[in-house]
């Protein structure tokens, strides 16, 4: 395997949404929970014990994301014990985290190899070892290609598509279809918000970090460089070029009422205002009143 190929795969893992399937190292069972999504992907379901307080935790399966949801509060800096939801074995190991001294928690990867995370809340140390690097890379490549997660297959029938097309012609309006790549710009400085094929936003939520979103309409996978609790609005969303806030206090989300963030998206002939809900996990997005006459967003419950 040549160096270019390895570098491409490395950047894929760094910048795209690679969802890792983890297995319990004691019983070998898959720990993924398809019902409970974190970052819009199946999560890793574990029992957690924080000084005697017991609960469930769902970790993001997206490589490089530190998001999770849990029924107990886990303050930053606290150490927790993790155990398998199949065999109940405690998974914390004797090996120490090189950055904070906490216990590391190892898991097996379904593609062969091991990933370990630190048991201290807020510690971002983790490492991945592949049993057979070339085999793992080949598998990642087969699954993701060089462009990250494939956009879900268009499963609409020919008739459904024709109906959408008729609607388009009837109303003399443009339809932005699911899967359309949204060329996104800051409404203040007009610079592109797309970096490495992802929609990048600066995010403030106690600390400062970045939120990376899929730029395809109705694809909701995301990851962030700081912890963002599911189902809570973030404090502020800013342009990473000019630092202007994108939050529109007056335009609430149609679904949950949280404030929205406004970006510009290019449609066939003009830039339109495009709103995204600031609440993590809320899938609402919409257009401004004026644009609603000329542009329609294809609705999707599934994507
Ligand atoms: Zn187990
Ligand atoms: Zn640590
Ligand atoms: Zn800007
Ligand atoms: Zn919302």
Q: What is the pLDDT of residues 201-238, one digit of tens each?
A: 999 998 999 998 888 887 777 888 888 888 889 999 99
Distance CA 217, CA 299 (A): 10
Q: Picking from 110-119, 147-156, 175-184, 279-288, which range would have the lowest pLDDT averaged per residue?
A: 147-156
Question: Which ligand is nearest the CA of 201, by number?
Answer: 3
- Say what the pLDDT of residue 152 is: 47
Residue 165 has pLDDT above 60, yes or no: no
For residue 179, report the distance from its CA to the centre of ligand 2, in Å. 38
Residue 247 has pLDDT above 70, yes or no: yes
Residue 258 has pLDDT above 60, yes or no: yes
Question: Which ligand is nearest the CA of 189, by number?
Answer: 3
Average pLDDT for 143-170:
53
Question: Closest by alpha carbon to 239, among 192, 182, 186, 276?
Answer: 186
For residue 140, report the distance from its CA to the centre of ligand 2, in Å. 27
Q: How confident is the model at residue 176 (pLDDT cuts 50, 70, 90)?
A: confident
- Say what the pLDDT of residue 303 is: 38
Is the backbone of residue 269 left (phi > 0), alpha (psi -120 to 50) or beta? alpha
- Say what the pLDDT of residue 120 is: 92
Token readout for 246 is 């994108």
Bigger pLDDT: 97 vs 130: 97
Question: Which ligand is nearest the CA of 261, by number?
Answer: 4
Report how far apart, in Å, the C-alpha atoms of 252 and of each of 48, 77, 239, 260 are: 36, 34, 19, 6
Helices 133-144 + 3-15 axis angle, to 10: 60
Q: What is the DSSP string of the chain?
A: --HHHHHHHHHHHHHS-PBPPEE-TTT--B-EEEEEEETTEEEEEEEEEETTEEEEEEE--BTT---EEESS---TT-B-EEEETTT--B---SPBPTTT-PBEEEEEETTSSEEEEESBTT---EEEE-SSHHHHHHHHHHHHGGGSSPPPP----HHHHHHHHHHHHHTT-EEE-TT-B--EE-TTT--B-EETTEEEEEEEESEEEEEEE--BTT---EEESS---TTSB-SEEE-TTT--B-EEEEEE-TTT--EEEEEEEE-SSSEEEEEEESBTT---EEE-TGGGGTEEEPP-S--
Decide: 105 and 117 in contact? Cβ < 8 Å: yes
Residue 263, strand partner residues: 274
- Ion ligand 2 — residues with CB under 5 Å? 97, 99-100, 102, 118, 120, 123, 125
- Ion ligand 1 — residues with CB under 5 Å? 24, 26-27, 84, 86-87
Residue 149 has pLDDT above 50, yes or no: no
Global model pTM greater than 0.85: no
For residue 82, report the distance from its CA to the centre of ligand 1, in Å. 11
Cα angle 84-61-83, degrees, rounded to a multiple of 5: 15
For residue 204, report the distance from its CA to the centre of ligand 3, in Å. 15
Bigger pLDDT: 277 vs 163: 277
Bigger pLDDT: 119 vs 290: 119
| Most confident residue range from 18-22, 228-232, 237-241 | 237-241
- Say what the pLDDT of residue 294 is: 65
Average pLDDT for 52-78:
90
Question: Which ligand is nearest the CA of 102, by number?
Answer: 2
- Say what the pLDDT of residue 295 is: 66
For residue 102, report the distance from its CA to the centre of ligand 2, in Å. 5
Question: Which ligand is nearest the CA of 89, by number?
Answer: 1
- Say what the pLDDT of residue 94 is: 93
Average pLDDT for 3-19:
61
Question: Which ligand is nearest the CA of 255, by number?
Answer: 4
Q: How confident is the model at residue 169 (pLDDT cuts 50, 70, 90)?
A: very low
What percent of the chain is modeled with pLDDT above 70? Answer: 74
Each residue's pLDDT tens digit, 67-110 = 899 999 989 899 999 999 999 999 999 999 988 999 999 999 88
Give the dihedral of Cα atoms 229, 232, 233, 235; nearest 10 deg. Answer: -50
Strands 295-297 and 174-176: parallel
Question: Which ligand is nearest the CA of 202, by number?
Answer: 3
Bigger pLDDT: 48 vs 229: 48
Question: Which ligand is nearest the CA of 127, by number?
Answer: 2
For residue 274, report the distance from its CA to the centre of ligand 2, in Å. 39
For residue 284, report the distance from its CA to the centre of ligand 4, in Å. 5
* Mean predicted lDDT score pLDDT of the chain: 81
Question: Which ligand is nearest the CA of 245, by number?
Answer: 3
Question: Closest by alpha carbon to 252, among 231, 233, 227?
Answer: 233
């Amino acid at each position: 395997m040549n160096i270019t190929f390895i570098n491409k795969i490395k950047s894929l893992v760094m910048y795209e949404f690679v969802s890792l399937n983890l297995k319990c190292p004691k019983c070998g069972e898959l720990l993924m929970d398809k019902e409970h999504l974190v970052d819009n992907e199946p999560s890793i379901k574990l029992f957690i014990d924080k000084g005697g307080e017991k609960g469930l935790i769902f970790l993001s399966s997206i490589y490089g994301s530190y998001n999770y949801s849990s029924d107990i509060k886990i303050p930053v800096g606290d150490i927790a014990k993790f155990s398998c939801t199949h065999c109940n074995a405690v998974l914390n190991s004797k090996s120490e985290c090189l950055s904070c001294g906490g216990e590391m928690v190892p898991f097996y990867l379904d593609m062969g190899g091991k990933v370990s995370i630190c048991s201290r809340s807020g510690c971002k140390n983790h490492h991945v070892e592949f049993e057979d690097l070339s085999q793992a890379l080949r598998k990642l490549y087969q699954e993701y290609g060089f462009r990250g997660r494939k956009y879900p297959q268009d499963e609409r029938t020919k008739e459904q598509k024709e109906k959408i097309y008729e609607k388009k012609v009837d109303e003399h309006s443009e339809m932005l279809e699911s899967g359309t790549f949204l060329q996104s710009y800051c409404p203040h400085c007009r610079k592109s918000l797309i970096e490495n094929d992802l929609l990048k936003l600066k995010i403030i939520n106690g600390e400062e970090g970045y939120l990376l979103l899929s730029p395809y309409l109705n694809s909701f996978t995301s990851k962030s460089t700081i912890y963002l609790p599911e189902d809570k609005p973030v404090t502020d969303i800013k342009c990473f070029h000019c630092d202007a806030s994108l939050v529109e206090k007056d335009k609430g989300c149609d679904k949950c009422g949280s404030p929205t963030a406004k970006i510009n998206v290019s449609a066939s002939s003009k830039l339109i205002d495009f709103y995204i809900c600031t609440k993590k996990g809320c899938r609402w997005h919409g257009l401004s009143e004026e644009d609603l006459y000329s542009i329609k967003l294809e609705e999707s419950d599934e994507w």
